[in-house]
């Protein structure tokens, strides 16, 4: 009886020892441990790679935004420089115009004085029996007229040459039409009032008479 119990006990102990040994073998299997470790490493590598890819994408996005902002700033700078250059040119032009045309109204009013002086000289008769003092007065007026024209020219005011010139509405103001065979149609044949320019601007147009072809005469009725 005791022998049987001892055998059973020994058998149970052997089974327990076998289970422990088997467990140790399974637990201490190097291939399985390496595989698990490799899987962990691979999984970590994948996560790291994903994280790095995300970081790189964010960096690239930031770089793209910075480049876009730089381009916008460059364009804004160029526009600002262009506007400043336009303002500078406009200021220079206004400055030049103020110097060249600042006396525009005064010069135009002075033309009336010249017109009256010319009319006065034209109204003087050409009689030969005029007194010497009267002739001296006329000569003095002619000198004044000449100096007056020189002063105007000094300030850029010049007379428009109109006679025998083709009519130009930019410089001429037609006051009447004159029928004539001596000129082609549309030419200035008479100057009623002289016109002037100030530098490259019209100060006053010339009042002129313009040539026109004569109307055809009515045909005389044939005699029976």
pLDDT in tens, 36-56: 666 665 656 656 666 667 777
Helix, strand and coil in the chain, % to nearest 5: 65, 15, 20
* Secondary structure letter of residue 183 according to DSSP: S
End-to-end CA distance of the chain: 187
pLDDT of residue 134: 82
Distances (CA, A) of 115 to 24, 69, 151, 200, 203: 133, 67, 15, 22, 14
pLDDT of residue 79: 92
d(CA 108, CA 101): 11
Average pLDDT in the chain: 79
Cβ neighbours, 10 Å, residue 107: 19
pLDDT of residue 219: 47
Residue-wise pLDDT tens digits, 78-92: 999 999 999 999 988
pLDDT of residue 212: 92
d(CA 186, CA 212): 6
* Secondary structure letter of residue 181 according to DSSP: S
d(CA 139, CA 145): 10
Over residues 129-157, mean pLDDT? 87
Residue-wise pLDDT tens digits, 52-75: 677 777 887 888 888 889 999 999
d(CA 166, CA 160): 12
For residue 119, what pLDDT band results from cuts at 50, 70 and 90?
confident
Q: 170 or 20: which carries more pLDDT confidence?
A: 170
């Amino acid at each position: 009886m005791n022998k049987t119990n001892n055998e059973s006990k020994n058998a149970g102990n052997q089974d327990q020892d076998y289970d422990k040994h088997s467990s140790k073998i399974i637990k201490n299997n190097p291939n399985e441990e390496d595989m698990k470790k490799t899987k962990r490493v691979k999984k970590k590598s994948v996560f790291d790679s994903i994280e790095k890819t995300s970081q790189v994408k964010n960096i690239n996005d930031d770089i793209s935004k910075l480049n876009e902002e730089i381009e916008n700033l460059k364009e804004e700078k160029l526009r600002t420089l262009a506007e400043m250059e336009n303002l500078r040119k406009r200021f220079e032009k206004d400055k030049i115009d103020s110097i060249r045309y600042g006396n525009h109204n005064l010069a135009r009013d002075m033309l009336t004085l010249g017109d009256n002086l010319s009319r006065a000289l034209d109204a003087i008769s050409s009689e030969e029996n005029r007194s010497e003092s009267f002739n001296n007065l006329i000569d003095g007026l002619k000198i004044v007229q000449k100096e007056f024209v020189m002063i105007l020219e000094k300030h850029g005011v010049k007379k428009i040459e109109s006679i025998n010139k083709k009519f130009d509405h930019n410089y001429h103001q037609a006051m009447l039409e004159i029928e004539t065979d001596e000129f082609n149609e549309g030419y200035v044949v008479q100057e009623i009032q002289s016109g002037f320019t100030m530098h490259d601007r019209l100060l006053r147009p010339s009042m002129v008479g313009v040539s026109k072809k004569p109307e055809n005469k009515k045909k005389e009725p044939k005699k029976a």
